[in-house]
Amino acid sequence: MQKRRWRRRFVDESVLKLAALQDIDLMIRDRKKEEDLGFSTQGLATLEEAREKLASEIDARMLRLYERLSARFDRAVVPVIAHRCLGCSISVPTSKRVTGEERKSPLITCESCGRILFFI
Amino acid sequence: MAVTVETLLSYFDESRFIPVLRSTTKAGALREIIDALSEDSEIRHPDILREALESREKLGSTGIGKEVAIPHGRTVSVPRLKVLVARSKKGIPWGAADQKPVKLLFVVVAPPLEKTNEYLPLLGMLVAAMQEKQHRDRVLKAKTFADAKAALEEALRG
């Protein structure tokens, strides 16, 4: 199969870590539903340890923002698809649609809902 | 909302079918699976995807027994639900409760926000469909993707 080539969007390392952290938080939150389907979730302590390790690698200010948003919304980090914030469906202004390494600030948040934007 | 068999089958695509995994270890198999999923131009952050699948295995083995595993996870790095099917001839130790090496894998990844709400029902359908040995054997022995998909359809319809 021929490898597809695409232009990889630049996404700050901190946003990638917050995205990974959210994925883990979702797993922990949804574990009861998965148990009902017959999946094992006995490694919760191991996963929580991994979660804390990842959280320790994230800038404290960004982590606080993530946790504040997580307390308010189901998803603190949301993708931007078709120029829309998938948290609130508001169109993301052109000035925020960065495609290269010209971005100055590591975190970009939605002007409407405040969620952290993840440019896919 | 119930997921129909037709909907579930629509997620099976030859571009996400690994007829024979080369690796005989769990870590190696997950790497092959991530590489295959990364061929999809919609998946632009394979590292996040890899983290999600590896983290899920930390929570507990996704081996459901009877030589089947269903690695899965919700991750923001995937814009829509995707399913990959992979097979292993020798079997891969997966930490399943029955200790049997895994020969058939269904990898299910979905975004955290999912309007259709198909992720969990789809997982449940796969778990149920793979309980019968004859169904598992047919998918494992299928010579082509089309045959594997037909076998899976039969399994899903019971």
Give the one of B15, B39, B55 whose C-beta lies nearest to A3's C-beta: B39
pLDDT at residue A23 in the model: 94
A100 has pLDDT over 70:
no
B125/chain A closest Cα distance in angstroms:
9
Instruction: List the one residue out of B126, B71, B43 whose CA is nearest residue A9.
Output: B43
Write down the catalytic residue from B16, B50, B72, B87: B72
pLDDT at residue B1 in the model: 58
Stated pTM of the model: 0.90
- Is residue A24 within 8 A of residue A55, CB to CB? The reply is no
Size of interface A-B (CB pairs under 8 A): 101
Tens of pLDDT, residue by residue over B14-56, are 999 999 999 999 999 999 999 999 999 889 899 999 999 999 9
Smallest CA–CA distance from B115 into chain A, residue: A86
The phi-psi region of residue A77 (left if phi > 0; otherwise alpha if psi is between -120 and 50; otherwise beta) is beta
A105 has pLDDT over 70:
no
User: What span, in angstroms and rounded, lies between the C-alpha atoms of A19 and A60?
Assistant: 15
3-state helix, strand, coil in chain A (%, to 5): 45, 10, 45
Tens of pLDDT, residue by residue over B119-138, are 999 999 999 999 999 999 99
Q: Do B44 and A23 touch (CB under 8 A)?
A: no
**Under 8 Å CB-to-CB from B111, ≥6 apart: which residues?**
A79, A86, B74, B75, B76, B78, B79, B80, B81
A51 has pLDDT over 90:
yes
Q: Which two tokens stand for residue B29?
A: 């198999």
B56 contacts chain A (CB < 8 A): yes
A34/chain B closest Cα distance in angstroms:
8
- Is residue A51 within 8 A of residue A81, CB to CB? The reply is no
| B81 — pLDDT class (breaks 50, 70, 90) | very high
Q: Can you tell me the ipTM of this complex?
A: 0.87
